[in-house]
Amino acid sequence: MFRKLFALSLIVTLLIVGVAPSTADEAPADWQADLAWAEAAIPSGLDLALPEESTTRAATNPKLDSALAELAGTPGGERSGVAASDGLRLENGRVQVQLVVDEGDEAAARQAVEQAGGEVTGSFAGVMQAWLPPDQLTTLAALDVVDYIQMPPTAVPAEDDALAAMTEGVAAANAAAWHTAGWRGQGRRVAIIDGGFQGYTSLLGVDLPQTVTVKNFVDGQTDAQVNGTTSHGTACAEIVHDMAPMAQLYLLKISTDIDLSEAVSYAISQNVDIISTSLTFINVTPGDGTGRFATLAQNARNKGILWVTAAGNYRETHWSGTFKDTDGDGLHEYASGVEVNVFGPGNGQAYLIPGGASLSLSIRWDDWTAVNQDYRLLLLRHDGSAFQIVGSSDNPQKGMPGQRPTERISYVTSGSAAIYGVAVQRMSSNRDVYLHLLTPNRKLDRRIPSMSLGNLADVPAVLTTAAVDAKSPFPREAYSSEGPTNGPGGAPTGGAVKPDLAAFANVSTRSYGTRGFNGTSAATPHVAGAAALVFNAYPVSLPGEVQDYLATWAVDQGLAGKDTQFGYGRLLLGSPPSPWDYDYHSFVPSVMSNR
């Protein structure tokens, strides 16, 4: 679809604004720390014996996430500490939440929020994003017009730990030949949606275009604060600019899934051609390609937008399998006699995790319709003789509207270095569910690489990107998430083959230095930039045709044909078309073995 594009970019002359890092926008400050953590033998006693009080549930609010229920019951002077430890945004005496409401109840729910001293800041697909005084959470949850109040799902940058720059991906993808032939992305608009673009103003006219358009969708922030929080988005924008140096860039800052929906709506209104998201979400959908992200992405594609997204970096931090409890103690067994999955490098050793390390862990399971299979997530610390519970998540799963089959723990370690691990406990269930355990940026000893895609990466209407090293022979990065997607409702079978393509990590940017930017975060903007060149050369193409073109020229790696590690293969733009070659609709998706 051809769309005439107008040069309506905002000339940016903003000052750098320092913004405190947020768990919503950025990996933990110590996210590379496990590279230097000492290792120790995994202790015996992985078959737990929980204290009596750990096998029963105290009375909980069935319409509140457990972290919000804890905050509501905490005295005012202690709430900031509780919010920080649970990953909640608490600002000016109000906490950011999401209310699940029926379509006909939105007006009444909005009024109730305002009467409680709160504010609604956005909504999408039956979910309202709002700020509420913590002491009003229980009151709001009791209303008939509110089905459930949950923590907002937040974006996770798809960047892994590793080491005026040009990405090595330009040469590896053959983009330089397209530039020489005159295809440089002119007339194309690319929106990079990310958690922050710190330092971008200093790169304008050097590693970024002279002018860019910026907009901030994070609650309580201004457009000036697009320049803050993290340089992750800046590095992504640098890569798009290297690949398509004449494309017009939009830098859109988000934090939550509601922010993402607003950013996509804005991109559509600006006639953007390509969206690039080097991020994923966790526990928002069953992982089967359905849900709110599927609706959002299909709408974008219907408007002529090709959405390129990261597969995620969870291959070494993911475990999945059917709940198993042969000894009847209510705890899942990863193997015979093993009820604790310790954090470790995967070689039979465990990490000795020092104080001050951030741990984030979550589970979801295949009960998204009835939501009446109730499980609990436990974080444990070994005290030298036995494992002790130091954190838990116990959201209600009672079959009530708005409840989800998910649990999540955010925790900062303290004290001397120790071994930590994860356990899953059945609270009330009449079947053995299929579980997914995810611990971003923290490797697990027992791991399952398959089906490790993040939410959004599983959606059919996005082009999902895996990561390979930018140097020949372009090996797959060990962290790069694998498919397939889950089957319907989170089932272990019946899923689709994902990712779709693989592109380059360990590349150079001004923001991250020489060969310093990696993860599927780095891979994704290479594909977005390549798509801009194809749109440039074939301006009336549809998004699916551009995706098919890239699939056709991809270099097959791994199993023959499309597979769950590389998709159709490694990004490679073939020989650039001549200016008079306008066979726009001849793309056939067939993987090439040697190009």
Please give the pLDDT value at position 581: 52
Using alpha carbons, select from 10, 159, 216, 9 the residue that is nearest to residue 516. 159
Helix (H, G, I), strand (E, B) or coil at 476: strand
* Encoded tokens for 126: 């039956």
DSSP conformational letter for 366: S
How far apart CA 427 and CA 245 sit, in angstroms, is 55
H helices present in 175-281, as ranges? 175-180, 232-243, 257-269
- The fourth-level CATH superfamily of domain 157-314+452-553 is Peptidase S8/S53 domain (3.40.50.200)
| pLDDT-derived band at 590, boundaries 50, 70, 90 | very low
Are the CB atoms for 60 and 403 separated by under 8 Å?
Answer: no
Tens digits of residue pLDDT in 418-462:
999 999 999 999 999 999 999 999 999 999 999 999 999 999 999
Are the CB atoms for 316 and 479 separated by under 8 Å?
Answer: yes
Please give the pLDDT value at position 70: 93
Q: What pTM was estimated for this model as a whole?
A: 0.90
Among 11-25, 331-345, 399-413, 536-550, the range scoring the smallest mean pLDDT is: 11-25
How far apart CA 158 and CA 520 sit, in angstroms, is 6
Question: Residues 43-55: what's their mean pLDDT?
Answer: 71
Question: Residues 337-346: what's their mean pLDDT?
Answer: 96
582 versus 354: which is more confidently predicted? Answer: 354
Question: Residues 315-328: what's their mean pLDDT?
Answer: 97
How far apart CA 530 and CA 167 sit, in angstroms, is 13
* CATH code for the part of the protein at 66-150: 3.30.70.2980
| Residue 190 β-bridge partners | 249, 274
Tens digits of residue pLDDT in 127-158:
999 999 999 999 999 999 999 999 999 999 88
Residue 53 has pLDDT above 80, yes or no: no
Percent of the chain with pLDDT over 90: 84
Tens digits of residue pLDDT in 251-306:
999 999 999 999 999 999 999 999 999 999 999 999 999 999 999 999 999 999 99
Question: Residues 1-12: what's their mean pLDDT?
Answer: 29
Please give the pLDDT value at position 385: 92
Domain ranges of the chain: 66-150, 157-314+452-553, 318-438
Q: Name the architecture of domain 318-438.
A: Sandwich (2.60)
DSSP conformational letter for 528: H
| Residues 461-478: b if buried by 16+ CB within 10 A, e if exposed | bbbbbbbbbbeeebebbe
Residue 113 has pLDDT above 80, yes or no: yes
Question: Residues 557-585: what's their mean pLDDT?
Answer: 85
Please give the pLDDT value at position 28: 44
Percent of the chain with pLDDT over 70: 89
Among 56-60, 308-312, 498-502, 534-538, the range scoring the smallest mean pLDDT is: 56-60
Helix (H, G, I), strand (E, B) or coil at 547: helix
Residue 579 has pLDDT above 80, yes or no: no
Taking the CA atoms of residue 282, residue 561, residue 477 and residue 154 in that order, the dihedral angle to the nearest 10 degrees is: -10
Tens digits of residue pLDDT in 190-211:
999 999 999 999 999 999 999 9
Residue 124 has pLDDT above 60, yes or no: yes
Average pLDDT, the chain: 90
Please give the pLDDT value at position 586: 45
Among 165-169, 314-318, 556-560, 564-568, the range scoring the smallest mean pLDDT is: 165-169
* Encoded tokens for 577: 């078309």
Question: Residues 46-71: what's their mean pLDDT?
Answer: 77
Please give the pLDDT value at position 49: 74
Please give the pLDDT value at position 50: 73
